[in-house]
Structure 1
């Protein structure tokens, strides 16, 4: 009888165990550690724009203190742009070789040091040298961050991830003027660079201590991530082999896929830098806003762009998940967004209403920013272990557009005397960039295209 009772009790326990499938299924759910990694990476995108945009707020004070005219100040700013561009590929390659943990820790520390060094400058020459070194550091940020995501984000979540990271960067650009102005009003322009540098140094220390380049390394060091999440990450993307052939730069230049992607990206960069450099002047000179109202209305397109960043990536990922068609998912979103941007930019320049002009420009930047997350997600799609190199190459070519944008826009404005024609030029350039996406194949891996063995 006792044996029978024990058997019945055992069966009852087994029955109760399987009568609660929710408890069993909950134990089988993947952890969410990749989203914590993504959030920490988003913070560095925000910090890059805090440290990058603050100098534009300090500009009047610095120009007055050092006796710089607008042309000389333009040279100071251009030093950052060109050194930022030339460091993309080398740092991307170093990141592919040594990993994002080491590379990002070093370069964030590097540019944070030169952020605070900006507060120590005493003349134009010292300012130029510091900004040159600052640009070299920041140049590796986005390629290295993209490389970090290569091991942590599944292919079907990459659009969302890249859209969110760039959304944080745009949000950083939108809030920096308010934060920097507040700090400068209390303690002067030099204090702004000192305080902002501390933020980067703290991030670099946390990153070095906490982050690991792969989920497996993270699990071994910290735990907190289960095998189901690791399998989800690795199952949705190509398996990243531990022993990989080296991708030389001269080999990269033979990739038609990478070239079409990289040639399209400058059209995006050209246009987005119009909003970063010329929009405030446009609102004051062409639309008659005073400085206080300009500051408010200039932030509206940037905030709209923040939404577009995240939404574009989400839409692209959903299309990929639903259709299984990477070409469709990665092409349709940036092409649509860039066409939306081109379409709204012209009425934004033509309308007689200043408020409608802001609305149209916000719609334009919203559409434009839908594309950026997909650009960087495609670097992951085709790059995998070479994502740092691919994204660095793309950003280098893209920054040619960024550097030319304020110059070409200003030249067209000077020659024609009208604000309409510079926007028409940008609109036409965007259409070309959208069409180039037809030749980009996100499902073609760089290793397969170049037969890397």
Structure 2
């Protein structure tokens, strides 16, 4: 996940030189940011179903090699069309990474001990940005944005070699959903996909991923183009939301696991904990347009986008809580794909808002205010409808009834 998110971050980090070299408008650059997510959800679902049957370590190795190789075309002559094509293919390669990695992780830890490991793996994204940004920004400033892509490709190939020799598959098997049943039965996907908890998790995750996509694509341009920071300073400051998110996610994962271990319900220890944090971010962000002070704008943006990051730990936890292990990889991929649809829309939408605004700064502020409204509404949905225990019982009862009816007919 560290290398995976460094891949995602490099376009936003190099936004200004890319736009200058390729003569791109904000709308065109927003399209590049969105292009990454065009095939992202579809490949995630496809590989998720495959990972139900095959070892996850093989899928992770194949994806890492593919996405690493896709960085090297950026070392040559690059046009707008080539950049778009490479980002689309990169999204297809990286789309399944998070759900497949999470599925692989859950083969090592039982449900009650998954929050902290999930947070650690999820924070590969933040660590990737924190570690990569200073190095990539130095390469961009002192060499070129082309070599920033090349460095990421080399890092990905090195990881692939290590994973080939040291990657292992876990052996832990989850207990059946229904009590007093020795063999797990499959739950129809239509029941899982219409489950209120999963629908609410998708909704809250969608808005949160909208914010994540804006951070990947537009955070550095906001600092450089909107607030007037230099490329060096703006690029280095781009690590701030990720550092804050790292702290929030690790602390939130620890707190969620501690509450769960103390007997607190999943609705509170997972659903309410994360949803309230998302709503808090939604309340903070609209203040960004009410102050002219650049440092205060930066603080509001960092706090508003980072405070709800625990949702990225909670969503896979509640999905795995409701899904039989034999279907888990596919359901994690489907839910992750719905969430990442926010990434398809958000960068392009921000580009349109910025281009149509009276000033660049006003456009950025309006775009982040819109994000605040989405976070507030989606957090409320999560607070009301993420109820894992109740929905697990309902799914188990419905599945048991279906099995009894099938046996009576035979």
For Structure 1 versus Structure 2, the TM-score category normalised by the shorter chain is 0.7 to 0.9
Deviation per CA, 1:51-71, whole angstroms, max 9, x where unpaired?
222233445555565565554
Deviations 1:246-297 (A, max 9, x none): 6775564343432222122111112333333333344445544444443344
Aligned to 1:405: 346
Deviates more, 1:389-398 or 1:76-85: 76-85
State yes or no: 1:168 paired with 2:124: yes
| Correspondence for 1:213 | 169
Larger Rg: 1
Give the 3 Å change call, closer, same or farther, for CA 449–161 of structure 1 in structure 2.
farther
Any idea what SS the aligned residue of 2:399 has?
A: coil
TM-score, structure 1 as length reference: 0.75
Deviation at 1:180, TM superposition (A): 1.4
Residue pairs, 1:221-260, within 5 angstroms = 238=175, 252-260=192-200
Aligned-partner Cα distance in 2 for 1:337–1:447: 28
Query: Aligned pair in 2 of structure 1 residues 69, 98: CA closer, same or farther (>3 Å)?
Result: same
Of residues 308, 313, 337, the one that matches 1:396 is 337
Q: 1:451 aligns with which of 374, 378, 399?
A: 399
In structure 1, how many angstroms separate the alpha carbons of the residues matched to 2:68 and 2:167?
19
Q: State how far apart, in whole Å, the 2-side matches of 1:389 and 1:211 are.
A: 21
Is contact 1:270–1:401 with CA below 8 Å preserved after alignment?
yes
> Conserved in 2, the CA contact under 8 Å of 1:164 and 1:373?
no
| Consecutive unaligned residues in structure 1, runs of 5 or more | 1-44, 216-232
| Counterparts of 1:84 and 1:117, CA distance in 2 | 20
Classify 1:184/1:426 alpha carbon distance in 2 versus 1 (closer, same or farther; 3 Å).
closer
Q: Give the whole-Å Cα distance in 1 for the aligned partners of 2:170 and 2:249.
A: 26
1:338 is aligned, of 251, 259, 278, to: 278
Q: What's the offset of the Cα at 1:155?
A: 1.5
Aligned residues of 1:93 and 1:388 also touching (Cα < 8 A):
yes
User: How has the CA–CA distance of structure 1 residues 408 and 350 changed in structure 2, closer, same or farther, with 3 Å as cutoff?
Assistant: same
**Distance in 2 between the 1:77 and 1:53 partners?**
10
Contact 1:264 1:436 in 2 (8 A): yes
Which of residues 44, 54, 62 is equivalent to 1:106?
A: 62
Distance 1:123 1:432, change over 3 A: closer
Q: How does 1:72-111 map to 2 (within 5 A)?
A: 72-111=28-67
Residue matched to 1:6 = none
User: 1:361 is matched with which residue: 292, 298, 301?
Assistant: 301
Does the Cα contact within 8 Å between 1:96 and 1:147 map onto a contact in 2? Answer: no
Deviations 1:228-260 (A, max 9, x none): xxxxx66xx536999866677556434343222
Q: Secondary structure at the match of 1:369?
A: coil
> Which of 358, 367, 371 is 1:426 aligned to?
371
Q: CA deviation at 1:320?
A: 0.5
Q: How many matched pairs?
A: 390
* TM-score, L = length of structure 2: 0.83
- Which range moved further: 204-213 or 396-405? 204-213
Q: What is the CA distance between 1:185 and its match in structure 2?
A: 5.1
1:81 is paired with a residue of what secondary structure? coil
Paired with 2:221 and 2:165, the residues of 1 have a C-alpha distance of 44
